[in-house]
Amino acid sequence: MGDIRSALLVKPGEPFHLSKIDPESTPGCKDKEEGLARFQKNIDRLSALQYLLYADGKRSLLAVLQGIDAGGKDGTIRKVMSGLNPQGVTVTSFKAPAGVEMEHDYLWRVHKAMPRKGQMGIFNRSHYEDVLIVRVHNLVPKEVWQKRYEQINQFEEMIAESGTQIVKFFLYISKDEQKKRFEERIQDPEKNWKFSLGDLEERKYWNDYMEALEVATAKCSKSHAPWYVIPANRKWYRNLAVSEILRETMEEMKLQLPSPIAELAKIRFE
């Protein structure tokens, strides 16, 4: 059984080059049959770990999902979180800031969405949009977004020290795979709603987004908030990798049930 987690980790403080990763690859797993079996075991274990997280009530977990359009963020959430109790999970999708969000700093809405103790939080896109789309489209001056890498690192360090385990996933698909998925959305009436002309416009900036993602993951992968680049052309492997990394991360939290109240065995009901 291969070590998926170490194979996909963006090692903190070391050079990282996205070109060395094949989005078709399946490091740490020999084939789909093995992958599906391991995935199911991970799902079952995650359910038990979520229960311990809730019972422990002292810590929380945040999973961040980033990726290009059609990268599989929604599908990952639907598949990997399928065995979890929805009462203990909050999914937040970050769109372009609007309304009161525009009246605050860029991390304000992110801080508000952090999971409570005992809970799991899932970010579909995140504060990293402010060093991705903001950078690619020059929405703020370079001297502004350049400072945000360190601001994000400091923010995540504070969140981690407050009891939230952070784990971040970049779902990496090829440009050809994106084209294939866009074509499926156009051809399938039940998926038509997922496609917009804006997707084609953003596709023109593919290389710019890849560069921005490469820089962000390299600058912001830390021991307390690591980045993992997931080869995501094969959906079954994407689901396996994310579920396995989440499972191992939660197991390392050493979650335990709290001690029962004193003399519980002596309690009798009339």
In order of their start, the domains of the chain are: 4-254 (3.40.50.300)
Structure confidence at residue 2 as a pLDDT band (50, 70, 90): low
Judge contact between 92 and 122, C-beta under 8 A. yes
* Number of CB atoms found within 10 A of residue 243's CB: 25
Q: Is 234 left (phi over 0), alpha (psi -120 to 50) or beta?
A: beta
pLDDT, tens digit (0-9, with 9 covering 90-100), for 163-180: 999 999 999 999 999 999
Judge contact between 218 and 15, C-beta under 8 A. yes
pLDDT reading at 16 higher than 90: yes
pLDDT reading at 1 higher than 60: no
Give Cβ neighbours of residue 71 (< 8 Å, ≥ 6 apart).
171, 172, 173, 178, 232
pLDDT reading at 11 higher than 70: yes
Structure confidence at residue 261 as a pLDDT band (50, 70, 90): confident
CA–CA–CA angle 85, 72, 13 (5° rounding): 95
Q: 159-183: b or e for each residue (b if 16 or more CB lie within 10 Å)?
A: bbeeebbbbbbbbbbbeebbeebbe
Q: What mean pLDDT do residues 79-108 have? A: 95
Read off the DSSP letter of residue 173: -
Residues in the chain: 270
CA–CA–CA angle 19, 155, 62 (5° rounding): 70
Judge contact between 204 and 264, C-beta under 8 A. no
pLDDT, tens digit (0-9, with 9 covering 90-100), for 208-246: 999 999 999 999 999 999 999 999 999 999 999 999 999
